[in-house]
Amino acid sequence: MQQENSKKNMKTFQANLINSLTLILMPLWAYLTYEGTQEKPEQSITALIPLFLGVILFLCNNGVKKENKVIAHIAVVVTLIALLGLFMPLKAAIAEDRTLSLVRVAIMLFTGMLAMITFVRSFIANRKSKQG
């Protein structure tokens, strides 16, 4: 049972790491390759919000790996904030027919959902192991 739990935890910290790196790299790519338009000549600094959330998640990763409950819960909250915050850029990318932006946001949403699912599964497994 212990070995099974450590496999789940490894998946949790790996999912968090993948999500954090995605949240760092995608906005960085978007910001550095931004091509202004007449309506929007410069990229907004708010485009980097996912990057900052990704840095927080990256800094939490060691604690998640070591099964620190407080850090794992912080990572879950930050992941949830990132997921909720990405729906506005998703709607904008769809409305403005920006395919590359849509792809980047979809990738960030996918890794965020993946991380959230692994966190929830890990919390459930930990609760079951304490009850059993």
Q: pLDDT digits over 44-84, tens only?
A: 889 899 999 999 999 999 999 999 999 999 999 999 999 99
Q: Is residue 61, in this structure, part of any structural domain at all?
A: yes
The answer to whether position 7 is within a domain reads yes
User: Which residue segment(s) compose the domain that 12 sits in?
Assistant: 2-30+45-127
In the block, which residue shows the tokens 């930050």?
78
90 contacts 72 by C-beta, under 8 angstroms: no
In a domain, 86, yes or no: yes
pLDDT range class, residue 7, cuts 50, 70, 90: low
Average pLDDT over residues 93-112: 95
Distances (CA, A) of 76 to 59, 96, 131, 132: 13, 31, 23, 25
pLDDT of 40 strictly over 80: no
Q: Is 97 left (phi over 0), alpha (psi -120 to 50) or beta?
A: left
Per-residue pLDDT at 51:
97
Count of domains observed in the chain: 1
The answer to whether position 37 is within a domain reads no
Q: pTM to 2 decimals?
A: 0.87
